Amino acid sequence: MAVKKTPSPRKRGQSPKRYSPRFRGVSGEFCRVRTEDGLELQGFYVGRSQKLDARLQKSEVSDSDPNPQSLAPSPVCLVHVHGWDGNFYENRFIDHAAEACARRGIGFLTGNNRGHDYIADILRDRRSQKLDARGQKLEVRKQATGLDYVQIGGMYEKLADSVADIKAWVDFAIGRGAKQVILQGHSHGAIKVAHYLITTRDPRVCGLILLSPSDDMGIARKQLGDRFLWVLARARELVRAGKGRQLLPEKEFQYPVSAATFFDCHNKGSITGMFNMSRTDRNEFPELASISVPVLVAVGTVEEAFVGAPRKHVSDIRACMVNCPSFTGAVIDGAPHNYLGREREVGEVLEKWLTKKWSSGPVVEWSSAGGKK
């Protein structure tokens, strides 16, 4: 969590001076999923099944189709998971990731999780209402339709709950014809996709892309200094008193965060500890040692969400992944945490890795403003 003392690397990454925005457009399908606990999440899908569906509707598919393989659903789909207080569309590198997948014949799916934006009213099936793990009644707005809205978003999320969100998106990708998925996470999203794979052992996951995995513990200790332990103790006190939704003092943080969320991300047993490469709170990382699929880790060099040199952060993660069959590390020089101004370079790193590991032939159609189709 970013604090007021310094600009947040999650939102305020400075783009290079040479950067001039070129807005891109990627053709795809807006979609919704419902998690096992009844939350409705939104996303965007790009895949071959769209082309097939369109031609089926126009009755253009026949037994004499010269290239039936070009109509088959993508056998591999990349599923992107955004970071803390982000969403499925905000970061511009998403456009380049989608295009990289399209050029390699790989499906692409980006979806919200319940931690999207700072605060969010998320539609939920009222039958799934229950007490959360801390025994608190979640904040809801009841509707007469059998549905209600629950307030979550970044300031109220619990990281472990993201497992249900990611599973819903993986299920969606498989439902669109994919046989396997590559999970890609940015910042907190990197923590979430790694945690999903580690806890579920989902055999459908064939690869992992970690973009700027954040060291929350190291960053918080560095930014809060001597006040870190006081803030953590205060958060623990509020959670134990059943007041976990209470926001922590505004003077400490650049953005609002609840006591429960801060404690969830910074206590000794937090899921975020898997990337505590600064070793402020941990020295062993058995979770990373259990990962046994190919991994790509990419980081920037400006206002990143970890402590220490970028190359060391990547190499330390690699050293912990002792059972990873294939590890690729990339440092994108001049890139801030959100890769603003270095989106093209991110796309190139992704495409090179995807080309080496997975490629399924013909290109999916895509378009970009002023570009090709």
Contact at 8 Å (CB) between 262 and 231?
yes
Could you tell me the pLDDT band of residue 52, with boundaries at 50, 70 and 90? very low
Is pLDDT at 130 greater than 60 in this prediction?
no
Q: Domains in the chain and their CATH numbers?
A: 42-115+152-357 (3.40.50.1820)
Is pLDDT at 60 greater than 90 in this prediction?
no
pLDDT tens digits, one per residue of 94-124: 999 999 999 999 999 999 999 999 999 999 9
Helix/strand/coil for 157: coil
The two beta strands, 107-111 and 40-46, are antiparallel
From 164, 166, 159, 192, select the one nearest 181 (Cα to Cα).
166
Could you tell me the pLDDT band of residue 310, with boundaries at 50, 70 and 90? very high
Average pLDDT of the residues in 287-295:
97
* Cα gap 319→337, rounded to integer Å: 22
From 303, 189, 309, 181, select the one nearest 254 (Cα to Cα).
303
Average pLDDT of the residues in 14-36:
72
Is pLDDT at 7 greater than 50 in this prediction?
no
Could you tell me the pLDDT band of residue 252, with boundaries at 50, 70 and 90? confident
What does each C-alpha distance from 137 to 69, 143, 191, 251 come to in angstroms?
Answer: 51, 17, 26, 27
Contact at 8 Å (CB) between 33 and 172?
yes
Average pLDDT of the residues in 350-354:
96
Q: Which residues contact 33 (CB under 8 A, 6 or more apart)?
A: 40, 41, 43, 111, 168, 169, 171, 172
Could you write out the DSSP letters of every residue in 284-313?
--HHHHT--S-EEEEEEEES-SSSS-HHHH
pLDDT tens digits, one per residue of 145-183: 679 999 999 999 999 999 999 999 999 999 999 999 999
Range in 28-42, 216-230, 359-373 with the lowest mean pLDDT: 359-373
Give me the amino acid identity at 27. Answer: S
Residues forming beta bridges with residue 180, ordered by sequence position:
76
Residue 139 has what pLDDT? 56
Q: Which residue has the higher pLDDT, 67 or 368?
A: 67
Q: What is the CA radius of gyration of the chain?
A: 21
Q: Which residue has the higher pLDDT, 56 or 286?
A: 286
Could you tell me the pLDDT band of residue 254, with boundaries at 50, 70 and 90? confident
Q: Which residue has the higher pLDDT, 191 or 256?
A: 191
Residue 251 has what pLDDT? 77
Is pLDDT at 307 greater than 60 in this prediction?
yes
Per the prediction, the chain carries an average pLDDT of 84
Could you tell me the pLDDT band of residue 73, with boundaries at 50, 70 and 90? confident
